[in-house]
Structure 1
Amino acid sequence: MEQSSTLQAFVKLGSFLFNYLVEKNNPNTGPFQDFKGVLLKAEAQNSWFTPENLEFSIQQWANMLTENNLNKWLEVYDSTSKKKPKTVAIIMAGNIPLVGFHDFLCVLLSGNKVLVKLSSNDRLLLPFLTEILVANAPYLKGYIQFTEEKLEGFDAVIATGSNNTSRYFEYYFGKYPNIIRKNRNSVAVLSGNENQDELKALGNDVFRYYGLGCRNVSKLYVPKGYDFDKFYTAIFGFQDIINQNKYANNYDYNKAVYLMSNIKIMDNGFLVLKEDEGFSSPIACLFYEFYEDKSILKKDLKNKSEQIQCIVSKGWFDDEIPFGQTQSPDLNDYADGVDTLDFLLNL
């Protein structure tokens, strides 16, 4: 299988996604109508998958799946090898829409075959997009398989889950070449000099996908004496998030637990702020921690790098993410910092 042919199939898929967004209010062709139906079913199956978040995910992939972006990403790799394709099993998470699509893309562009075990929370979107992909490149049908059964007949594994499930994955798949991902969270480091536009953009990093993604900011590092009113004022425009029932239930529950435990919190009616050294804050909550010395904080975050997916800041770190951009990664922004494509090309 030629990489260039597969690349063109993904470019056509990107065009399909882009054109769907243009026509979504009046889909006039069969595939667009079918996709709209799949999106409605995905929303009904998983109420975290709101129309807004589904559309955002589709837009991100429409932006990335262009010929220019794909070629620019791939040009740094030596993909000239004609090795026999290996079968790579992917165990996908389902916390946000199409969260496993990047692994799926990497496997096929590396010339390997993919065996997909979908999450029960996101089992409709990728199979439909695969149909569009195969319609443009029929040979890919022999390279893609979905299964709900026990995984068998594979040569390598990519598995994404929690710290608990990672132990299971390591036990069963440790003898195979693997990438096994654990819990990670993202943080924001504030200097106290951010303007309202920057803090508002940070709200997107906190609230997009209801904070369920590993790239969502779940903790703030703020200077001693930080004025949280500035932050709360900037994010007030996100207040409608409380109208989502599951989010509201989590907000009410977590707030009640903190109050009953006499834990000091701050609250604006849709987001609880709690001082905490941990990274993984509950839904509708955001942890924060004060710092006094910039160099000590940078050293501390470096020591905890295996727990951190992204750092949002301005002028602090070489690999920092700008405010508002955590959920718009580039193709070479690999989960956990592990180069998935390099791993697959060297199987």
Structure 2
Amino acid sequence: MSKIEIKNCFIDLGKFLNQFSLDKNIKNEDVKNNEIFFDSFVELIALSQSHNGWFTPEQVYFSIQSWANALTEENLTKWLSAYNFEESKPKKIGLILAGNIPLVGFHDFLTVLITGNDVLVKTSSNDQHLIKFLAKYLITLDERFSSKITFVEGKLEGFDAVIATGSNNTSRYFDYYFKDVPNIIRKNRNSVAVLNGKETKEDLFNLGEDIFRYFGLGCRNVSKLFVPKGYDFKMFFEAIFSYKDVIFYEKYANNYDYNKAVFLMSLYKLLDNEFLTLKEDSSYSSPISSVFYEFYEDLEEVKSRLKTDEEQIQCVVSNDLVENSISFGQTQKPMLWDYADNVDTIKFLNSI
């Protein structure tokens, strides 16, 4: 398959995904293969929470719409225009995917295929149905995808390179097992927000999106705040109050109750609004339903700290207080050219 043909198939996939939203699924008669896939996808979305309790309809639809917005001709053309592609024999690229949020591994899947390579996919047990469905849709668009996409149930073998996503613990295994092939090994990362007290209520409301989307399970979710010494959290709590319904979701509520109890038994001082706890802590990785915070006196010290700890950080959110930071509310809306861990996956694949 030519790269143009592959690109056009992903554009068609984007049009297919664009039919589905939390408000209403609207069938577009111009979308290819709807007679085969539309109703089945609606059913799969409805079943997603039974496959993974964190995959509520709201979260699954958000992910689907994010990919529908990304897979447009304009976005794909802009993304790929930054690279020079040489025709070469396709490499077999192994993917070991995470499963913390819906379709979290789809960017790697897309990148391998759109560069003309073949993909060997080992899904997480927590997110194995959605990506397989989208692969079937691609194969129906062009049967040649069937020889380019392989889902692996057992041991991953026969690859020329590997992209593996896991925890800091599993990364040590990945580093050893894949040491003899080109690889990208992703570890735990967290996202932070840097505030200066001049944020508007709208800014802080949007920060709530960065905190609560996907229940805080993603590496792009803000789990740590840097705030100026003496910062008053009153407006922050007022701004995020509209996210209060998160506590009515049982799995989140159980985490809130448990983590709050652990903190209190340890005699930690907490700020609490009955659905989120704030704890002063120098760490980046806070548990579900909690966000850590740290006071600062000099913004330059924060910038230096973030530079030193850049391998632990996925995103930085601020009102341009930190270079290359992301606007409030945008962490879970990455563009195709926003690479995980700032590692250019296409550049990596082109170098093999």
Residue identity matched to 2:117: N
Aligned to 2:19: 19
Q: CA deviation at 1:83?
A: 1.2
Question: 1:140 and 2:141 equivalent?
Answer: no
Question: 1:50 and 2:56 equivalent?
Answer: yes
Question: 1:77 and 2:80 equivalent?
Answer: no
SS for the counterpart of 2:93 is: strand
Aligned to 1:105: 110
Q: Separation in 1 of the partners of 2:333 and 2:169?
A: 28
Question: 1:35 and 2:36 equivalent?
Answer: no
Q: Assess if the C-alpha contact under 8 Å between 2:93 and 2:160 holds in 1.
A: yes
SS for the counterpart of 1:278 is: coil
Aligned to 2:31: none
Instruction: Please give the root-mean-square deviation of Cα atoms over the aligned residues, in Å.
Output: 1.3
Question: 1:341 and 2:346 equivalent?
Answer: yes
Residue identity matched to 1:149: G
Q: Separation in 2 of the partners of 1:42 and 1:201?
A: 27
Residue identity matched to 1:52: E
Residue identity matched to 2:77: N
* Deviations, residues 3-47 of structure 1 (Å, cap 9, x unaligned): 000000000000000123386278984411100111122211111
- Aligned to 2:327, which of 322, 325, 330? 322
- Aligned to 1:252, which of 252, 257, 260? 257
Residue identity matched to 1:311: V
Q: Assess if the C-alpha contact under 8 Å between 1:86 and 1:113 holds in 2.
A: yes
Residue identity matched to 2:25: K
- Aligned to 2:169, which of 164, 170, 174? 164
Aligned to 1:222: 227
Q: Assess if the C-alpha contact under 8 Å between 1:24 and 1:32 holds in 2.
A: no
Residue identity matched to 1:199: L
Residue identity matched to 2:50: A
Residue identity matched to 1:208: R
Q: Separation in 2 of the partners of 1:20 and 1:45?
A: 19
Q: CA deviation at 1:268?
A: 0.4
Instruction: Name the TM-score, length of structure 1 as normaliser.
Output: 0.98
Residue identity matched to 1:284: S
Aligned to 1:3: 3
Counterpart mapping for 1:190-209 below 5 A: 190-209=195-214
Q: What stretches of structure 1 move > 6 A for 4+ residues in a row? A: 25-28
Structure 2 unaligned residues grouped into runs of 5+? 29-33
* Deviations, residues 94-136 of structure 1 (Å, cap 9, x unaligned): 0000000000000001111000000000010001011111111
Bigger Cα displacement from structure 2, 37-46 vs 331-340: 37-46
Aligned to 1:280: 285
Q: Separation in 2 of the partners of 1:6 and 1:318?
A: 35
Q: Separation in 1 of the partners of 2:334 and 2:175?
A: 27
Q: Separation in 2 of the partners of 1:332 and 1:30?
A: 32
Aligned to 1:289: 294
Q: Separation in 1 of the partners of 2:345 and 2:262?
A: 40
Q: CA deviation at 1:317?
A: 2.3
Q: Assess if the C-alpha contact under 8 Å between 2:27 and 2:38 holds in 1.
A: no
Q: Assess if the C-alpha contact under 8 Å between 2:277 and 2:290 holds in 1.
A: yes
Structure 1 unaligned residues grouped into runs of 5+? none
Q: Separation in 1 of the partners of 2:3 and 2:25?
A: 31
Q: Assess if the C-alpha contact under 8 Å between 1:20 and 1:32 holds in 2.
A: no
Residue identity matched to 1:78: N
Determine what percentage of the aligned residue pairs are the same residue: 57
Residue identity matched to 2:75: N
Q: Separation in 2 of the partners of 1:25 and 1:75?
A: 32
Q: CA deviation at 1:327?
A: 0.1
Aligned to 1:175: 180
